Amino acid sequence: MDAKSMFDLPISGLRNGLHHFQFELEDQFFRKYAHSPVEHGHFHAEVTLDKGSDSMVMEVAIEGKMATICDRCLVPIQLPVAFHQTYFFRYSEEARDEGDIIYLYPKTPVLNIADMLYETTCLGIPMTKIYACENDPDAQCNEEVLRILEASKIETKEEPAEPENGSVWEVLKKLNYDQNN
């Protein structure tokens, strides 16, 4: 059995109603995708499929951690990732994907959800890879980098100096006057 078929849901054999599936996504799963943002990680996926006679709704909840570098202090961290995604399916004589709804042939025997699990995991990865490491006893923050960042915050909070002759508007009026003459 290849790894991709591990994510096949036998939809033709399922009765109408709710069905629950669980999957573990680890390093070898993410290696199958070129340029994956996850090199090392472990995620648990809970999939709930609500099958009807002419449509299906699939709820995917992903939770886990991935190895990455902290964007704040530049040390390796285990970044928590959690995301929830809903997929809508309808049966049609023409299989297609129209954004929010995925159309399947009525006699589709299996639905491979590997790409959907990958997409849901990637959507859960925050743009800025930081977390509340002060609550993590195993966190190894680079205190020197954090001190430098804190010092730069203090420096940038200083107010810009007022122009010598009054308001900013006076300086702008003078610039406009100088250009016209």
The answer to whether the pTM exceeds 0.85 is no
Q: DSSP states of 47-108 as a string?
A: EEEEE-SSEEEEEEEEEEEEEEE-TTT--EEEEEEEEEEEEEEEE-SS-EEETTEEEE-TT-
Give tens-digit pLDDT for 69-90: 888 788 888 899 999 999 999 9
Average pLDDT, the chain: 83
Question: Is residue 151 pLDDT above 80, yes or no?
Answer: no
Q: Give 170's pLDDT tier (boundaries 50, 70, 90).
A: confident
What is the reported pLDDT for 1?
44
Distance CA 170, CA 181 (A): 17
